[in-house]
Amino acid sequence: MEPAAFFRPQPLASPEPRSRAPGKDSEAGAGAGARESERGSPGADPLPDPARLIRDPLSGRTYYRGRLLGKGGFARCYEATDTSSGHTYAVKVIPQSRVAKPHQREKILQEIALHRSLHHRHIVRFSHHFEDEGSIYIFLEYCSRKSLAHIWKARHILLEPEVRYYLRQVIAGLRYLHQRGVLHRDLKLGNFFITDNMELKLGDFGLAARLEPQDQRKKTICGTPNYLAPEVLLRQGHGPESDVWSLGCVMYTLLCGSPPFETTDLKETYRCIKQVRYTLPTYLSVCARHLLAAILRPVPQDRPSLEEILQHDFFTKGYTPAQLPPSSCTTVPDLTPPSPAQSFFTKVTKSLFGRKKKSKLAVQEQDNLSRLVSDLVLMSICPQNSSKEPRQAQKEADVPPSLAETAPEEGSPRSLAAMGSSCEGSEECLTAAAVMESTLCALRNCLAFMPPAEQNPAPLASSEHLLWVSKWVDYSNKYGFGYQLSSRQVAVLFNDGTHMALSSNRKNVHYNPTSTKHFCFPMEAVPQQLQRQLGVLRYFASYMDQNLMKGGDLPSMDETESPAPLLLQWFKTDQALLLLFSDGTVQVNFYVDHTKLILSGWEPLLITFVARDRRALTYQAPHLQRLGCSPELRVRLRFVLGLLRQHSGT
């Protein structure tokens, strides 16, 4: 990792034009461009791309293949939607060419048979499978918040209550497997999937196997290097104790920020595992240290069972939240445990009066929003003509919402066809991890061969279409992260992962319920269910306009219906702010002197340096690599390289 010493600004006085709302300070995929459609005339709606339709040759059911969720050695996993019911799955697609040999096909069929037999709350649900001439398709439960690996990449270190929350669910699923004589053999963060309501599901049974007697166990070394048990490396076979070892490595990674035996050299990692050589940070609680030491023992029989782990003081004497907020995927949650008196009062109240029900209004509001999003998504996949005429919506009030009041504004309902145009993202959408990886690679190559120089080469002609964040507000302790682009478009990445933007002419609202689904509404036709988010968005816009100085906005221009790139993820350090966008752009704002670096393009990588006077100069990375650059620019590039390495985990 590049040391932070490459960039040593003076002690921090105040961040970028104090980009915070008044009050306390506190994740993937990209949206596609808007697609207009005229409702009311037959055949006006665009049909889905036939190349992205999957058809079951036996039942005739069709599925719309959406964004790429992940890929492995044999298969790729996509989001898939049943075009008749609108139900969303995760579909594992295995090309027939990858299972041409009999033993390869047998392995896939064994995985299907094993996974189909599993039914547990904390196991990814198997739905069905079929195949055609080109591929085998395995349809699984869709987990919208991806995996624990994505949360770890955004957070690196989790709180002990969070770790207990996740581990309890992992152990529940793992205990079910072991009771059925199944070994997972590949426990790691990427195989713990997270649903929309923050429930953990254990998945990926490609390496799973039936438990055999000690003398008949397979001696194959399989799994992820950082999580392999010593007996597996010593070819003594894999047993339930080996899964327990991997569980200990997972616990260590979540609490400490990296796996216990990770080194830069694989042979050295294996040596550390065999010798059980690792260190326990001093900031860990005594209970956490004791449990890790008990699990990570060289002799399998000396390790505690899953039941004994749950009875350890780490679990019995520590607070475990009943539910985690979705915002904990990217930011540290407030997990203050309830007081004993409050807990006692709650129990007594429930015993006397039963569970407190949600108000009908709150339940109806949530149901309406769910129905709205589902209907809009279905409309973009299975267009249907609507003969209903939209009712006239009331004009929005001109009074900007205050900090204390962001209640929904009044408005009459409109038919779905009139509320906005929608579009689906493409499977090539970039994730935050992909943005970091690609930029990291290009920047590393640029700096590795750059000769010393005293000044920068001639810049390119400035691009009027280059967008950057000119103002920002971190209010993630309550709402989310707000920002204004140089095009004057204002947007908010909410804590629940949704995204809403206000066009520069303030006539349209762009809404992304997920990173790959986009809806555009005229300002006067924003659905009632989205009025609260709109109120927060308008508050951010008003606050930045009134309290933050201009940050180099572009001249006013006519805005098309295509939305600006989405903010995928953001990170704050003591020295800078890192922003990752869905079009691959990476922006770093340096607090101390208000300079910025914007990396975009990739082929070639374009490097834009926004100086203190807001003057922006753009260079091609290959030119800097060949001719060198000024020390002022070089030190910032090295700092950004180190920042990307730190947050990508490489």
In which region does residue 238 sit, left (phi positive, over 0), alpha (psi from -120 to 50) or beta (all else)? beta
Burial class (CB in 10 A: 0-12, 13-18, 19+), 303: buried
- Listed in sequence order, the DSSP H helices in 180-303 are 230-233, 240-256, 266-275, 286-295
SS3 64: strand
Burial class (CB in 10 A: 0-12, 13-18, 19+), 201: buried
76, 70 contact by CB (below 8 A): yes
361 residue type, one letter: L
d(CA 627, CA 605): 15
437, 628 contact by CB (below 8 A): no
**Neighbouring C-beta atoms of residue 358, cutoff 10 Å:** 11
d(CA 382, CA 46): 9
SS3 274: helix
261, 277 contact by CB (below 8 A): yes
- Residue 400 DSSP label: P
d(CA 27, CA 568): 6
Burial class (CB in 10 A: 0-12, 13-18, 19+), 351: exposed
Q: Of 527, 479, 497, 597, which Cα lies nearest the Cα of 25?
A: 479
The answer to whether the bond into 527 is cis (omega within 30° of 0) is: no
- Residue 608 DSSP label: E
d(CA 650, CA 644): 9
SS3 520: strand
Q: Of 565, 499, 487, 475, which Cα lies nearest the Cα of 18?
A: 475
d(CA 401, CA 541): 10
H or E element at residue 116 = helix 102-116
**Neighbouring C-beta atoms of residue 418, cutoff 10 Å:** 17
d(CA 211, CA 114): 13
Q: Could you please report the per-residue DSSP string of 630-642?
A: -HHHHHHHHHHHH
| The token pair that represents 109 in the structure block | 């069929």
SS3 392: coil
Residue of 45, 49, 56, 186 marked catalytic: 186
SS3 186: coil
- Residue 614 DSSP label: S
d(CA 599, CA 516): 23
* 101 carries a ligand binding annotation: yes
d(CA 92, CA 65): 11
d(CA 255, CA 157): 5
| Catalytic status, residue 474 | no
Q: For residue 536, give Cα distances in angstroms to 19, 29, 330, 494, 572.
A: 16, 23, 19, 9, 22
Catalytic residues, which ones? 186
Q: What residues form the annotated binding site for ATP?
A: 101
Q: What residues form the annotated binding site?
A: 101
